[in-house]
Chains A and B, each alone.
Chain A
Amino acid sequence: MRIFQAMGSGASRSVRIWKGLLTVWLFLLMLVSLFALPLKTGLKSGLGNSMITEKLAEGINVEVFTDMGQTWSTVFSALVPGFFIVLLFGFLMNVFFTGGIFSTIRGSAGKFLISDFFRASARNFWSFLVISIMIGLIILGIAFIIIGIPLSMASQSITLSEAEVYLTGMIAVIVFCLLMPVILLVADYSRAWQASSERLACFKALGYGFSRTFKTLLKSYPLMIMLLLPQVLFGWLVLTILPDLRPSSGMGLFLLFVLTQLLFFMRLLLKAWRYASVTGLAEQNAGKTVQQQPEQAGLN
């Protein structure tokens, strides 16, 4: 019951901070556009007044890009580092705004103010950065141990059949996927604690995240699964719909842009729902904890 309460309150809290999510959307769009627009210009310049774009009517055509020769090499050489720079800045931007989101979705946060949102983002930045890096490293380590090692051993084996190697890989991936909600719970509990704490203590936050996750695993894990399932379904839907949309007019393109951005905003809402629900559950637990050990509870 508490799970559904948390999910319900999470939904209302995530909608409450729509302005914050709009801010995240806008900044991310600007960041990606900074990279994509020069790329678009490069492509347009490479294609010039050619009618080769007819070959792009059905989607990406590798032959056309190869025909661009040196122009494509130049564009591509900018594309690869640009991609990683965008990823890096996107990561930092996400870390920054996540601090604001976790602060403003708290039960005690009150009315959403954009100034509070930015202030909380700035305040939590370094702590959230360390938490994100640590959790990222944990995910990589787990992926290496659970997927990398068994799969490489299986694929090197001359006694295992290909089906068995495939099965090993699939089991490893499934185990990894089943563990991911646990890691995400640690990340979310840690950040929820940090966002509500007076002082910046990222490692203490991580400690809280781990302890809270495992203490409440029976409640938290189903919650996380229920929150992730709609995200997975949503991702599948997007991947199914988008490739087949091929507008051929300016208006069609505009509508495609609007649709993709709406979908992305929904993705942000779903993510915020997850943050808010986990925070809500943490607050419920903290309420109990406060009664028992008031000095240790950081959440309010």
Chain B
Amino acid sequence: MKKQFILLIILLLTFNILSSQIINREPLSARLTGYTIDVNLDHVTKTVRGTVNAFWVNNSGDVVPDIQMHMYMNAFKSSRTTFNRETGGSPGKKSSAAGWIEIHSLTDLNGIDLTPGMQYISPDDGNPWDSTVLEVVLPKPALPGDTVFVTADFETKLPSKIRRTGYNGDFFFVAQWFPKFGVYEPAGMRYATSGGWNCHQFHANSEFYSNHSVYEISITLPDEYVVGSGGMLVSETNIGEGKKTLVYRAEDIVDFAWTAWPGYAVFNTSWEHVDITLLIPHDRTKQVERQFTAVKHALEYLAENVGPYPWPYLTFVDPPARGAGAGGMEYTTLFTSTSSYRMPEWLHMPEMVTIHEFGHAYFMGILASNEFEEPWLDEGVNSFWEARIVDHYYGKNSGLMDHPLLKIADASMSRISYISSPGKQLVNNSEYSWDYPLGTYGMMSYHKAANWLFTLMGIIGEETMNEIFREYYRKWAFRHPSGKDFTDVVNEVVTRIHGEKFGPDMNWFFDQTLYGTGISDYKVAGFRNFIMPDSTSTRRNDNPLDTILSDTDPVYNSIVYIERKGEVMLPVEILVHFNNGEEIMEWWDGKSRHKALEFTGKKKIEWVKIDPEFKIRMDINYINNSMTVEPDRVPVRRIMNKFIAFMQFFISFIML
């Protein structure tokens, strides 16, 4: 009885601590889950062991008989886990290579042992060898409004191959490391038709989905380790025997990860209200300014065009080469970038990764979409913003690479990845991420979505696009939006700003791009200039260049033939240039398979361009978007000229 009372006090204190405000004045989210974790890092056995006190609030109208928790470290337990089956990999031959998590004890608020009700389930694929989702049947179902408290003693062994999480020597990146609640979705939330847990297994081609939570994390580890985490450091205590205890608090974030390595150098800066910390190997101090500049660019751009960054701190990590597997990942207020000791200035890869990973603080951090089911909603949307930011600050045509021999914009790289993918028509975005056919996850999640978002922006305009995201932020920040919620915002904003210029809604666009498998390809099939048989007569055509014609010059009947080769029908602009310097911009709804534009006058067509400003970035072939009487061969000849010289020098160089 006494033990139960003490436990009750501890749990209530936990709830009280987690409910209190330290970082922000008001809770940013509903805070349906919270965690107080006290762990020790054993740097010899590569384990993290301790206790977690956690709660989940049943804010649905359902009576919920169980809880479901992520036990994601078990993905690295054997070669038969769903993760390793999907990758074809294995944890390694040595037992020290595997990763796993074990719950040694699990009790509820009343000290009742919950372990008899524990079982691993595999809701996605039924794999009996996968133990990444734990179901715990409660002694008493959780009634609407109830809060379920659990206390678990757990031990997590980190894997030696770092795939976002793990260790290498004395480097640790600790993510997906504690028992964590899934998301209970009542009917009507996202796509749920009835209440239930949304708790997917750990997959190779997927990321995560969690509640915004409050974390109070206490980590004990050897003195020499430098630690970075997604929380704010509350206290640091030297506990003797060469160890220290660090206490962190984080509010309204969807995941808590941390890293420890003695080799980190710590740098600080600030941007407006945000204190920024960078952990980076000592060798890479030359990269610090690049990294800080990049993250400040991202903060500035997203705060202006999407919404405020609400936390007063941000930590990011540039892992050492030995921890490269942890690079390029996001945990809202903590993210990892990548660089190297001598990263050339012309290669903006570190900036790109930093901007991308920071962007996730918005797209799945604040706007906590389900990355398993709709990866485009975070990765695709975030890639779209990443490309905009990178190209805005680092060069419209050279955002990613700015070398005298080769310049590449980030948006171009995204389009290249999309159009060069052989599987771009295999699947649409309504599939779950792990069900994407082989080799299409990256293209579907990142590149296709980024390109149709650019295309959408090309159609509706940049300011409307920004307003869409501002509205999306206002409506869905610190909630769990679905793809449908996003498209509803688009429809609302576009009709508010443009009326019915693009139709009653934009679903025609999403049906083709987001939920369709078609491609977009418009082509100038040709154009002809006929001299009219009776050129001396006075004529009038039906285009804006109507002119009364003189009697001396020949009159041409000029026709442009346009084709829609792809399935996707999008409105396009067509620019026609005449030999007298006049230009006419035509608008076509792009629906029919072909279109002829006719012009009559004392002028011949010299060239035609469909989508002259390259707004339709989904178009898989820009080459056939234009046609001219006199193509400019100089660039090709110049390239070949230099290529010949290069080959001559190269052959001469490698020969003795």
Contact check, A59 vs B283: say whether CB atoms are below 8 A apart: no
| A53→B655 CA distance, assembly (Å) | 35
- CB of B309 within 8 A of chain A? no
Contact check, A36 vs B643: say whether CB atoms are below 8 A apart: yes
Partner-contacting stretch, out of A3-11, A87-95, A195-203, A292-300? A87-95
Q: Which residues of A contact B631 (CB under 8 A)?
A: 47-51, 53
Contact check, B656 vs A184: say whether CB atoms are below 8 A apart: yes
Contact check, B282 vs A52: say whether CB atoms are below 8 A apart: no
CB 8 Å contact bits of B491-502 with A (1 = contact, 0 = none): 000000000000
- CB of B625 within 8 A of chain A? yes
In the complex, what's the smallest C-beta–C-beta distance from A102 to chain B, in angstroms? Answer: 11
In the complex, what's the smallest C-beta–C-beta distance from B201 to chain A, in angstroms? Answer: 32
In the complex, what's the smallest C-beta–C-beta distance from B224 to chain A, in angstroms? Answer: 15
Contact check, B641 vs A253: say whether CB atoms are below 8 A apart: yes
In the complex, what's the smallest C-beta–C-beta distance from A222 to chain B, in angstroms? Answer: 20
Partner-contacting stretch, out of B48-56, B411-419, B533-541, B591-599? B411-419
Partner of A36, one of B283, B626, B644: B644
Q: Which residues of B contact A161 (CB under 8 A)?
A: 263, 281-283
With A66-B419, A264-B652 given, is the CB distance from A50 to B624 under 8 Å? yes
In the complex, what's the smallest C-beta–C-beta distance from B87 to chain A, in angstroms? Answer: 23
With A33-B644, A66-B420, A67-B622 given, is the CB distance from A162 to B649 under 8 Å? no
CB 8 Å contact bits of B619-648 with A (1 = contact, 0 = none): 011111111110111111111111111011
- CB of B408 within 8 A of chain A? yes
With A49-B631, A163-B283, A187-B656 given, is the CB distance from A40 to B636 under 8 Å? yes
Partner of A29, one of B281, B639, B648: B648
In the complex, what's the smallest C-beta–C-beta distance from A2 to chain B, in angstroms? Answer: 24
Partner-contacting stretch, out of B399-407, B468-476, B477-485, B579-587? B399-407
- CB of B341 within 8 A of chain A? yes
Q: Which residues of B contact A264 (CB under 8 A)?
A: 645, 648-649, 652
With A49-B631, A51-B609 given, is the CB distance from A260 to B637 under 8 Å? no
Contact check, B651 vs A260: say whether CB atoms are below 8 A apart: no
Q: For chain A, what secondary structure do more than half of its interface residues adopt (helix, strand, loop), or is it mixed?
A: helix
Contact check, B648 vs A57: say whether CB atoms are below 8 A apart: no
Contact check, B407 vs A271: say whether CB atoms are below 8 A apart: no
| A53→B635 CA distance, assembly (Å) | 6
Q: Which residues of A contact B169 (CB under 8 A)?
A: 158
| A101→B443 CA distance, assembly (Å) | 55
- CB of A256 within 8 A of chain B? yes
Contact check, B419 vs A158: say whether CB atoms are below 8 A apart: no
Contact check, B405 vs A59: say whether CB atoms are below 8 A apart: yes
Partner of B655, one of A32, A60, A94, A249: A94
Chain B residue nearest to A242 (CB atoms) is: B642
Contact check, B641 vs A271: say whether CB atoms are below 8 A apart: no
CB 8 Å contact bits of A154-173 with B (1 = contact, 0 = none): 01001001110110000000
In the complex, what's the smallest C-beta–C-beta distance from B171 to chain A, in angstroms? Answer: 8
Contact check, A54 vs B632: say whether CB atoms are below 8 A apart: yes
- CB of B342 within 8 A of chain A? yes
Contact check, A62 vs B406: say whether CB atoms are below 8 A apart: yes
With A86-B647, A243-B404 given, is the CB distance from A48 to B341 under 8 Å? no
Contact check, A58 vs B397: say whether CB atoms are below 8 A apart: yes
| A51→B158 CA distance, assembly (Å) | 55
In the complex, what's the smallest C-beta–C-beta distance from A20 to chain B, in angstroms? Answer: 15
| A39→B643 CA distance, assembly (Å) | 10
Contact check, B634 vs A248: say whether CB atoms are below 8 A apart: yes
Partner of A263, one of B284, B420, B635, B645: B645
Q: Which residues of B contact A166 (CB under 8 A)?
A: 283, 341-342
With A54-B632, A163-B341 given, is the CB distance from A69 to B407 under 8 Å? no
In the complex, what's the smallest C-beta–C-beta distance from B399 to chain A, in angstroms? Answer: 13
- CB of B322 within 8 A of chain A? yes
Listed residue (B406, B412, B642) with the most chain A CB atoms within 10 angstroms of its CB = B642
Q: Which residues of A contact B13 (CB under 8 A)?
A: none
| A33→B623 CA distance, assembly (Å) | 26
- CB of A144 within 8 A of chain B? no
- CB of B90 within 8 A of chain A? no
Partner of B651, one of A39, A47, A90, A163: A90
With A58-B407, A162-B283 given, is the CB distance from A257 to B641 under 8 Å? yes
Listed residue (A68, A155, A247, A253) with the most chain B CB atoms within 10 angstroms of its CB = A253
Partner of A247, one of B408, B621, B622, B638: B638
Contact check, B609 vs A94: say whether CB atoms are below 8 A apart: no
| A287→B168 CA distance, assembly (Å) | 63
Contact check, A63 vs B412: say whether CB atoms are below 8 A apart: yes
Contact check, B628 vs A49: say whether CB atoms are below 8 A apart: yes
| A90→B644 CA distance, assembly (Å) | 13
| A74→B511 CA distance, assembly (Å) | 34
Contact check, B655 vs A256: say whether CB atoms are below 8 A apart: no
Q: Which residues of B contact A271 (CB under 8 A)?
A: 652
Q: Which residues of B contact A52 (CB under 8 A)?
A: 622-623, 625-626
- CB of A135 within 8 A of chain B? yes
- CB of B340 within 8 A of chain A? yes
Q: Which of B273-316 contact A (CB under 8 A)?
A: 281-284
| A136→B320 CA distance, assembly (Å) | 37
Q: Which residues of B contact A50 (CB under 8 A)?
A: 623-628, 631
| A135→B626 CA distance, assembly (Å) | 53
- CB of A225 within 8 A of chain B? no
| A63→B320 CA distance, assembly (Å) | 33
Q: Which residues of A contact B641 (CB under 8 A)?
A: 253, 256-257, 260
CB 8 Å contact bits of A23-54 with B (1 = contact, 0 = none): 00000110011011101100110111111111
With A162-B281, A162-B341, A248-B634 given, is the CB distance from A48 to B623 under 8 Å? yes
Contact check, A243 vs B405: say whether CB atoms are below 8 A apart: yes
In the complex, what's the smallest C-beta–C-beta distance from B129 to chain A, in angstroms? Answer: 32
Q: Which of B410-441 contact A (CB under 8 A)?
A: 412, 415-416, 419-420
With A48-B623, A53-B636, A67-B419 given, is the CB distance from A260 to B644 under 8 Å? yes
Having A56-B636, A67-B620, A162-B283, one finds 14 other A-B pairs with CB under 8 Å, namely A32-B647, A47-B636, A51-B626, A60-B405, A62-B406, A62-B408, A64-B623, A67-B622, A90-B651, A161-B283, A166-B283, A243-B404, A247-B634, A248-B634
Please name the 9 residue pairs, one residue from A and one from B, whose CB atoms are nearest each other, closest first.
Answer: A56-B635, A90-B651, A260-B645, A158-B169, A51-B626, A162-B341, A163-B283, A94-B655, A162-B283
Q: List 28 A-B contacts (CB under 8 A).
A: A29-B644, A32-B651, A36-B640, A48-B627, A48-B631, A51-B626, A52-B623, A52-B626, A59-B405, A59-B407, A62-B412, A63-B412, A64-B622, A67-B419, A86-B651, A91-B655, A94-B651, A155-B321, A158-B169, A161-B263, A162-B320, A235-B649, A235-B653, A238-B649, A247-B634, A260-B644, A260-B648, A264-B652
